[in-house]
Amino acid sequence: MIMRSPIVAMLWENWRLTRIEAAQRLGLGLAAGGGALVLFDAGPAIAFWILFALHAFFWFSISKLNGGRFSDGYKPGFPLYLLFARPVSTVTFVGVAMLYDAVSCTALYVASAALLGAVFGEPLPVFSFALCLVTFHLACTCIQWATRSRIVQWSGSLVVGWPFLFLVQNRVGSPSQIHFSLVENTVMILICILSIVLAVVGVSRQRRGDAVAIVPQQKDATGGYPAWFISVFRFRCPTSSATRAQVWFELKSSGLPVLAIGVAIAILISMLFAISIAIPLARNFALGISVFSVPTVLFFLGGNVFGIRRKQGRRYASAFESTQPCGTAQLAGLKLVVRSACMLAALTVIGISVWASSSFVGGWGPWIVDGKNAAEGLLKARSTIAGKFGELPAYAYVAQAVIAFIAAAGYVAWQASREALTARYPRSALVVVGLPIVWGLAIVLLALVQKSGIAPALPVKAILQASFWIAAVALMSTTIYLFWNGISSRVLTAGYLSSAVLVIAVFAAAWVAMLHAAGAPFSRMPALHIAAILFPVMMMLMNSLLAPWSLDRIRHA
């Protein structure tokens, strides 16, 4: 494609980098925001914060040009070694990159908020929030690109992020009303100009060589954690058994670091709750970290079990991981068991810390938020949860523990398979990952149609039931194909299959026991409800077959 203008060419390059992520953000925002508007009374507020969380971050597709994740050779600063090796002024390519990030993310937010407001009849803040979002993006990209110091980046992100969050929280009178004063708008415009100027100055120093330009290099650790972190856990490798040696390697490279991070988060939560007795400003931090710690651990520490690398927009398997003298099924099983056990232990430590630390709320005294005593509400919620768990029979606790471990293993298996298949079949994996989002958006729209009375309830209900049965048939067909292909290609061994069947049977028994303790009337349930209840069991079965199959594809690519 011939482009005579360098600005148009750079905009086209940025669009090519971010178009897939833009579609994912737009679809996820519409599906999650629409679901919040349909299911919750405070739907507009929840939808606004969902859109805010999705579109406040700068493009990950562009940030990966610095080497991907921090663990895969990330180097701070502007990626001059890869981008814009052309006779274009620094002001031009820095300004184009920063403005593209700010304007495109803000445009996605505006489009999502306007569409949700028009479809669901719930007005959301649109243009009144645009300048604030542009300012935040320009400030963040300035911090990320103007310097090669990680300390400056991290501290600058905290200095900019938390005040911005508090400003938005204080200005949201209602979800449809966000107003900034003339002074605040003027300050935000000045911040935009200052961010661009500082970014141009910083990138100019990097371009002239005043700041050393370093090409990202891949870390030696297969688990993706820094070498200094892995070397903290020192214990000898057993040489009497290859299986024990593999377990040692998985523990040292990825398992124990996950557990250590979980313990550190648990200690931080306890400290914040204790400090909040004397310092009320720490209470928001304590509650925020308590709420987001579990999904953060699941998302960031529960994936990439198979050691997939990312570098300069390319994904590939580690040569060491691919050439280990171990069967694919056995290797996948060991990796999943070790990571699942360590991640579940980390989540357990965090959960115990949150529960034990919540007793400090009684010492906070009155904590008035929006005219209500938030501390009293937290204590009531704590007592309610304790009462609900206290009413359960003894076998329900065992069932919960079994479900938690096997569900964690299933989640880890799905994340590992997704990473491996994305590296092997990037376009096909993108379609497979996007289908659940599209399906969820369609379900939300159908529920809205039924609720608003636009169409008769009976056809809409029939469509919903048909879509569920189609999903169930697709899940079973995928499971059958994975079983047949795994057997024919000799990936699945008898030992792995017997272990997987035993684990799934235990999970199904624990799941049924848990539902029975909750009072589910199995004898009077229709077939659709029974199939919905057994859906998690089918998911676990598919994940148990998908993990070794995907590892085999990436090892023999």
In sign, the C-alpha dihedral spanning 316, 55, 150, 349 is negative
Query: Could you give the angle at the alpha carbon of 70 between the alpha carbons of 9 and 14, nearest 5°?
Result: 10
Distances 254 to 222, 248, 302, 304 between C-alpha atoms, Å: 8, 10, 10, 10
Residue 382, pLDDT > 70, answer yes
pLDDT at 190: 94
- Which pLDDT band holds residue 266 (cuts at 50, 70, 90)? very high
What is the Cα–Cα distance from 255 to 301, expressed in whole angstroms?
9
pLDDT at 133: 92
pLDDT at 210: 60
| Numbers of helices and strands, H then E, in the chain | 19, 6
**Mean pLDDT for the chain overall:** 82
pLDDT at 452: 64
Residue 49, pLDDT > 70, answer yes
pLDDT at 137: 92
Residue 79, pLDDT > 50, answer yes
The residue with tokens 């929030």 is 129
Mean pLDDT of the region 346-367: 87
Residue 191, pLDDT > 50, answer yes
Residue 278, pLDDT > 70, answer yes
pLDDT at 267: 94
pLDDT at 220: 43
pLDDT at 312: 59
pLDDT at 219: 44
| Backbone angles phi and psi of 281, in degrees to 5 | -65, -20
Among 44-53, 98-107, 188-197, the range scoring the smallest mean pLDDT is: 44-53
Residue 129, pLDDT > 90, answer no
Residue 65, pLDDT > 80, answer no
Taking a C-beta distance cutoff of 8 angstroms, is the pair 283, 40 a contact?
A: no
pLDDT tens per residue, range 393-411: 888 888 888 888 888 888 8
In sign, the C-alpha dihedral spanning 203, 209, 215, 221 is negative
Highest mean predicted confidence (pLDDT) among 226-240, 300-314, 344-358:
344-358
- Which pLDDT band holds residue 86 (cuts at 50, 70, 90)? low
Q: Percent of the chain beyond pLDDT 90?
A: 14
Residue 214, pLDDT > 70, answer no
pLDDT at 74: 60
pLDDT at 216: 47
| Backbone angles phi and psi of 276, in degrees to 5 | -65, -15
pLDDT at 146: 87
Tell me if residue 41 falls in helix, strand or coil.
Answer: coil
User: pTM surpassing 0.85?
Assistant: no
Residue 451, pLDDT > 50, answer yes
pLDDT at 71: 44
> Which residues, in sequence order, are bridge partners of residue 317?
308
Mean pLDDT of the region 136-161: 85
Q: Which helix (H) or strand (E) holds 523?
A: none
pLDDT at 223: 44
In sign, the C-alpha dihedral spanning 407, 412, 413, 417 is positive
pLDDT at 281: 80
- Which pLDDT band holds residue 455 (cuts at 50, 70, 90)? low
Residue 211, pLDDT > 70, answer no
What is the Cα–Cα distance from 315 to 309, expressed in whole angstroms?
5
Residue 428, pLDDT > 90, answer no
Residue 442, pLDDT > 80, answer no
- List for the chain the helix, strand, coil content (%; round to 5): 75, 5, 20
Mean pLDDT of the region 19-25: 88
Q: Percent of the chain beyond pLDDT 70?
A: 88
Q: Which helix (H) or strand (E) holds 163?
A: helix 150-171
Residue 85, pLDDT > 60, answer no
What would the two tokens of residue 379 be? 């204590």
Q: For every residue of 421-484, which 3-state class applies, written as one string?
A: HHHHCHHHHHHHHHHHHHHHHHHHHHHHHHHHCCCCHHHHHHHHHHHHHHHHHHHHHHHHHHHH
Mean pLDDT of the region 551-555: 87
The residue ranking higher by pLDDT, 520 or 376, is: 376
- Which pLDDT band holds residue 112 (cuts at 50, 70, 90)? very high
Tell me if residue 197 falls in helix, strand or coil.
Answer: helix
